[in-house]
């Protein structure tokens, strides 16, 4: 054990001497490892951060939540031209499903539409996300009201002109004033602010609730009706806990098919999107992104490996005389072999550490600039260290073997 510790110490000394004596050559050789480790760890950190954010955003939602809409959230076997002919779900279908489908806990009718501008006196906030919905949406999606309240069932059914606004919308329109009870203008109509949402931060999908507003869907239906092409309705359904999802989806499909008078053999002209299926789809995308990142980064590591191998061959050449003297004094081949292997690994680790340090600096800077937390986990650091060590080991094998096989007499003579 003491022998290997001494080997490590000497190898570290040789590696640091190589850095000091041949700064430019060594730095250029390590650059490939640095870029390779930086690329891999940056991709892993970005993907892990996105995955963490997705799970945080969905943590307050039931993964069995159903989105009944004419679009599919994932790949579909139905041709695109046929999907484009599917009718929108309607408010009447929402009420029918609410009455007739069993095991429904909460249910909301939403409308997806384009962004709008909202005004208060002479102040305007542009391109906010508007969400016309029924009152039960707050029990389905992770919407948290900080001050005031969400609209109730009576206001939802009657289409009362009330509105709940995001924290950034409130700050932009009212500053330090209390927004509750104030009237804002949207769609040319006045709506009374009854609630302000808790700050959410950067959203993974679409816009954050901080720049969103929520109001009764019947308020919008009263203005535009149900056949406006700029509106895309959806029915959100939260089943009761413990329900068999396959049976629930089958009953839901059967009821809606009957309501739409679809004949046996005709395909469903709607999609039942379950949130858990959407998360599986996202996990698949995350996995593909990881594979692509690894593939691209491995090329950089390959270049870095050649750089380490090159500097080790040069190191063997420069220290041929020293190797001969060590062998003449009784140093065994494995001592010389391990000495150069350790040196290659240490050099590669130095390049890897620099790469990981750069990732950490980028993560800190981007987290501060984008209001999005980039995660650099200990697992990723271990992966980076392990890869750097592996590249050093592979790159140092041939130079180490060539050094171990040197004849001591010839090595000393070459040095002279």
Read off the pLDDT of residues 130-176 as tens digits, 9 standing for 90 and up: 999 999 999 888 888 999 999 999 999 999 999 999 999 999 998 88
- Give the pLDDT confidence of 39-69 residue by residue, as tens digits: 778 877 877 777 777 766 666 666 788 899 9
Place of tokens 């180490």: 400
Cα separation, 249 vs 229, whole angstroms: 28
Question: Residue 306: CB partners within 8 Å, gap ≥ 6?
Answer: 32, 395
pLDDT at 95: 93
DSSP category for residue 198: P
pLDDT at 60: 60
pLDDT at 15: 61
Cα separation, 29 vs 22, whole angstroms: 11
Cα separation, 193 vs 196, whole angstroms: 8
Model confidence band, residue 180 (pLDDT cutoffs 50, 70, 90): very high
Cα separation, 132 vs 71, whole angstroms: 19
Contacts 24+ apart (CB under 8 A), 248-254: 248/66, 248/101, 248/103, 249/66, 249/274, 251/101, 251/102, 252/66, 252/68, 252/97, 252/101
Cα separation, 287 vs 123, whole angstroms: 45
Q: Are 406 and 400 in contact (CB under 8 A)?
A: no
Q: Output 89 or 304, whichever has higher pLDDT.
A: 89
Cα separation, 181 vs 8, whole angstroms: 72
Q: Are 309 and 42 in contact (CB under 8 A)?
A: no
Q: Are 384 and 352 in contact (CB under 8 A)?
A: yes
- Assign 3-state DSSP to the chain and report helix, strand, coil percentages, each to 5: 60, 15, 25
Average pLDDT over residues 361-381: 77
Q: Output 31 or 123, whichever has higher pLDDT.
A: 123
To the nearest whole number, what is the mean pLDDT of the chain? 82
Q: Are 383 and 47 in contact (CB under 8 A)?
A: no
pLDDT at 157: 92
Instruction: Give the H or E element holding residue 65.
Output: none
**Out of 20-24, 212-216, 299-303, 339-343, least confident range:** 20-24
Entry pTM:
0.64
Q: Is the pLDDT of residue 415 over 60?
A: no
Average pLDDT over residues 33-43: 80
Model confidence band, residue 29 (pLDDT cutoffs 50, 70, 90): confident
**Out of 139-143, 242-246, 363-367, 407-411, least confident range:** 407-411
Task: Give Cα 231 to chain centroid, integer Å.
Answer: 29
- State both tokens at 84: 């484009």
**Out of 113-117, 209-213, 268-272, 347-351, least confident range:** 347-351
pLDDT at 184: 93
Q: Are 392 and 351 in contact (CB under 8 A)?
A: no
Q: Output 16 or 256, whichever has higher pLDDT.
A: 256
- Give the pLDDT confidence of 299-335 residue by residue, as tens digits: 777 777 787 787 778 777 777 777 777 777 776 777 7
Domain boundaries, the chain: 2-57+281-415, 87-269
- pLDDT-above-90 percentage for the chain: 26
Q: Supply φ then ψ for residue 397, to 5 degrees.
A: -65, -55
Q: Are 306 and 102 in contact (CB under 8 A)?
A: no
Cα separation, 396 vs 237, whole angstroms: 60
C-alpha Rg value of the chain to the nearest Å: 32
Q: Are 248 and 103 in contact (CB under 8 A)?
A: yes
Tell me the DSSP string of 252-296. Answer: HHHHHHHHTTPPTTPPPSSEEEEHHHHHHHHHHHHHHHHHHHHHH
CB atoms within 10 A of CB 371: 11
Q: Is the pLDDT of residue 177 over 70?
A: yes
Instruction: Give the H or E element holding residue 32.
Output: helix 23-58
Q: Are 375 and 416 in contact (CB under 8 A)?
A: no
Q: Are 46 and 374 in contact (CB under 8 A)?
A: yes
Q: Is the pLDDT of residue 205 over 60?
A: no
Q: Is the pLDDT of residue 410 over 80?
A: no
Q: Is the pLDDT of residue 110 over 80?
A: yes
């Amino acid at each position: 054990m003491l022998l290997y510790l001494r080997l490590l110490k000497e190898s570290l000394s040789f590696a640091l001497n190589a850095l000091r004596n041949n700064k430019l050559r060594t730095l250029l050789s390590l650059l490939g490892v640095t870029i390779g480790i930086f690329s891999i760890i940056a991709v892993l950190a970005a993907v892990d951060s996105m995955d963490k954010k997705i799970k945080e955003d969905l943590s307050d939602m039931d993964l069995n939540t159903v989105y009944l809409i004419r679009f599919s959230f994932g790949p579909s076997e139905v041709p695109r031209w046929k999907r484009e002919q599917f009718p929108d779900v309607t408010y009447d279908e929402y009420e029918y499903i609410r009455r007739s489908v069993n095991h429904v806990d909460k249910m909301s009718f939403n409308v997806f539409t384009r962004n709008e501008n909202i005004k208060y006196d002479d102040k305007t906030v542009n391109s906010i996300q508007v969400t016309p919905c029924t009152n039960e949406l707050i029990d389905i999606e992770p919407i948290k009201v900080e001050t005031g309240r969400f609209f109730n069932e009576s206001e939802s059914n009657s289409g009362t002109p009330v509105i709940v606004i995001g924290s950034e919308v409130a700050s932009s329109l009212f500053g330090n004033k209390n927004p509750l009870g104030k009237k804002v203008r949207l769609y040319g109509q006045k709506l009374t602010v009854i609630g302000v949402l808790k700050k959410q931060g950067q959203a993974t999908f679409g816009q954050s609730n901080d720049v969103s507003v929520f109001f009764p869907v019947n308020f919008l239906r009263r203005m535009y009706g149900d056949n406006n092409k700029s509106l895309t309705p959806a029915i959100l359904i939260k089943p009761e806990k413990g329900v068999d999802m396959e049976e629930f989806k089958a009953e839901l499909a059967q009821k809606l098919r009957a309501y739409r008078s679809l004949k046996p053999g005709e395909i469903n002209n709607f999609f039942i999107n379950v949130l858990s299926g959407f998360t599986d789809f996202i996990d698949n995308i995350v996995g593909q992104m990881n594979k692509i990142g690894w593939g691209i980064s491995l090329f950089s590591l390959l270049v870095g490996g050649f750089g380490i191998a090159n500097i080790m061959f040069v190191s063997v050449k420069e220290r041929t005389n020293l190797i001969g003297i060590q062998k003449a004094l009784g140093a065994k081949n494995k001592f010389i072999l391990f000495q150069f292997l350790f040196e290659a690994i240490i050099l590669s680790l130095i390049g890897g550490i620099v790469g990981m340090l750069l990732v950490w600096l980028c993560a800190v800077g981007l987290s501060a600039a984008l209001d999005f937390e980039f995660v650099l986990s200990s697992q990723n650091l271990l992966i980076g260290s392990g890869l750097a060590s592996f590249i050093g080991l592979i790159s140092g094998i041939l130079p180490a073997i060539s050094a171990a096989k040197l004849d001591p007499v010839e090595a000393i003579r070459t040095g002279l």
